[in-house]
Amino acid sequence: MSKIPEYAFELTMRVRDYEVDSQGIVNNAVYLHYLEHTRHEFCRMAGTSFRDMQRRGIDPVLRKLDIEYLHPLGLGADMVSKLAIRREGARFIFIQDIYSLPDMLPVVRANVTVVCLENGHLTRGECLAEAFAKYL
């Protein structure tokens, strides 16, 4: 996860009070929400949404997640969540990095593998490949 990719999408966010633990830092599980929210917003920007996909019987599902926690964020911290995507056969690999703002200190690095179910059956994800074609 050391090579910085060419990002296709980025989303700026701020840490909210209910996302921090008793030590005043973001709970490790909350970063998964940030990453997921970024993927959902990327899909929307790419012209589709999870709601639209679900209506069509398409379910992108998480297969694997590899995450490195590099630097903690605290209450009120600003961040930018960046995303790149590539395809490996039937798998879509989202390379996702979160940086603190304004210093761009790396906070989280993650590789997220997603596969596509259509009407409950595993597919090669051609419908997603079509939606993401200009970003792959």
Catalytic pick among 17, 21, 59, 103: 21
Decide if 66 is catalytic.
no
Length reported for the chain? 136
H/E stretch holding 112 reads strand 106-118
33 vs 5: CA distance, rounded Å: 21
Which residues carry out catalysis? 21
